[in-house]
Amino acid sequence: MFVSERKHLTGMSRGELAEFLNEFGEPRYRADQVFRGLHQRRLQSFQEMTDLPKALREQLCESATPSVLTVESKYVSEDGTRRFLMNTADGNPVETVFIPTENRDTICFSSQSGCALKCDFCLTAKLGLLRNLTTGEIVEQIITVLNDVYGPGGETPHGTNLVAMGAGEPFMNFDNLIKALEIMSDDDGLFIVPNRVTVSTVGIVPKIIEFSKLQRRPNLAISLSAPTDELRDRLMPINKRWKIDDLMAAAKTFERTLKPGERFTFEYVLLGGVNDSIEQARKLAAVLRKHGLHRVKINLIPHNPAEQLDYHPPEIDTVEAFKRTLESLGVSAYVRTPRGRDIFAACGQLAAKHEANPVKLTTSETAELTL
């Protein structure tokens, strides 16, 4: 049987797994064993699930698979960030980035192969949309990265944060994304709970509303990057569909559902000479004020340049002045330090880029690097 005909169990909920195993006449607890094997022990083959009877393991090998992605290459940045370039069984690129910091790890995963949105400053846009990733392909990215960094099934010394900020628009693959996050939050599995997760969207208005109604939902970030429709139309064509006023109204609906103490984020990519003036910072603060948005912070992301992109990051003084202007108007603003720029792993740089120097590290070397 070909891999693609086998069921990918990593994308199944516990209920679906139970149903699948029920077809082999297996009781419910077997589904729990397989779920733990896949997600808690992060096993990549059924043969290693030695708590299952041998006959069942063989049946599973025949009809199912724990893994559909292959790691094609891996790049390690001088700052410790790693970029994994993987392939789906049907040959579409999937990119995932591991970003270590002192007391936590962040994994930036992709929701789609390529991207349909044509944000002018983003390299991923140049790929176009290849296809939505399945639930299993989303979950498997995280399993693959954790196994690579900490060894197969190895304990993770820090908490893992997830950001849906890789390739693609998460809200255009909403159902698969939400299901993947549910699977990953299971305390018998990866146990990455929603408040450790941030989903970033260009602002698909109906999906922001749908998202705000979810019971256990992750944090939200909205990519804004311009304070006026005129400029945003040009930078992010999605703005022609939903204007800034529509987007802010949806953001306000979302804000009303925040729990005490929670905030949400607007991302603003700073493009030298394009959207980085003091006047534009004032306009940005005014837009938030107009819509009564108070429980927000702005993440300022200096542009990560690439040869095919006609933009460059502003001077550091300009970035600081933009930030101070926002703060003086009562808006919290933070500057995001770029990570992994040298290996094309930073925001907006994921374009399945092959480089001359992929690294093949063994697990022990890898662990040393991050500890």
Task: Pick the binder of ligand SAH from 95, 105, 140, 169 (CB under 6 A).
Answer: 169
Q: Which is nearer to ligand SAH, 196 or 339 (CB)?
A: 339
Q: Residue 227 gets which letter from DSSP?
A: S
Stretch that binds ligand SAH, among 68-76, 118-126, 189-197, 280-288 (CB under 6 A): 118-126
Q: How far is the CB of 161 from ligand SAH (least distance, A)?
A: 14
* Chain Cα centroid distance, residue 293: 25
Q: How far is the CB of 62 from ligand SAH (least distance, A)?
A: 38
Q: Which residue is nearest to ligand SAH (CB)?
A: 348
Task: Pick the binder of ligand SAH from 132, 144, 198, 225 (CB under 6 A).
Answer: 225
CA distance 367 to 369: 5
Counting residues that bind ligand SAH (by CB under 6 A) gives 17
The answer to whether residues 121 and 311 touch, using CB atoms and an 8 Å cutoff, is yes
For the record, the structure tokens of 192 come out as 């990455």
The answer to whether residues 201 and 214 touch, using CB atoms and an 8 Å cutoff, is no
Binding of residue 238 to ligand SAH (CB under 6 A): no
5's CB contacts (< 8 A; 6+ apart) are none
Binding of residue 339 to ligand SAH (CB under 6 A): no
Binding of residue 99 to ligand SAH (CB under 6 A): no
Q: How far is CA 160 from CA 3, 28, 65, 81, 180, in A?
A: 30, 29, 25, 14, 15
Task: Pick the binder of ligand SAH from 44, 134, 200, 219 (CB under 6 A).
Answer: 200
Closest CA to 299 of 208, 217, 204, 225: 225
Q: Residue 63 gets which letter from DSSP?
A: H
Q: Are strands 129-132 and 7-8 parallel, antiparallel or unpaired?
A: unpaired
Q: Residue 106 gets which letter from DSSP?
A: E
Binding of residue 180 to ligand SAH (CB under 6 A): no
Q: Which is nearer to ligand SAH, 84 or 121 (CB)?
A: 121
Binding of residue 345 to ligand SAH (CB under 6 A): no
Stretch that binds ligand SAH, among 21-29, 55-63, 82-90, 298-306 (CB under 6 A): 298-306
CA distance 341 to 313: 12
Binding of residue 133 to ligand SAH (CB under 6 A): no
Q: Which is nearer to ligand SAH, 59 or 318 (CB)?
A: 318
Q: Which is nearer to ligand SAH, 26 or 267 (CB)?
A: 267
Stretch that binds ligand SAH, among 4-12, 22-30, 67-75, 296-304 (CB under 6 A): 296-304
Looking at the chain, which runs of residues are DSSP E strands?
7-8, 64-65, 70-76, 82-87, 93-101, 104-108, 112-114, 129-132, 159-164, 197-201, 219-223, 264-270, 296-302, 332-335
Binding of residue 165 to ligand SAH (CB under 6 A): yes
> Among residue numbers 269 through 288, which ones bind ligand SAH (CB under 6 A)?
269
The answer to whether residues 355 and 343 touch, using CB atoms and an 8 Å cutoff, is yes
Mask of contacts with ligand SAH, 302-321, x by CB under 6 A?
Answer: -xx-----------------
Q: Which is nearer to ligand SAH, 34 or 125 (CB)?
A: 125
Stretch that binds ligand SAH, among 14-22, 79-87, 176-184, 198-206 (CB under 6 A): 198-206
Task: Pick the binder of ligand SAH from 223, 239, 325, 366 (CB under 6 A).
Answer: 223
Task: Pick the binder of ligand SAH from 26, 137, 267, 276 (CB under 6 A).
Answer: 267
Task: Pick the binder of ligand SAH from 348, 351, 352, 366 (CB under 6 A).
Answer: 348
Task: Please calculate the CA angle 174-180-183 and round it to the nearest 5 degrees.
Answer: 140
Give catalytic residue positions.
95, 347
Report residue 112: phi and psi, to 5°. -140, 160
> Helix, strand or coil for residue 194?
helix
Residues in touch with ligand SAH (CB under 6 A)? 119, 121-122, 165, 169, 200-202, 223, 225, 267, 269, 301, 303-304, 347-348
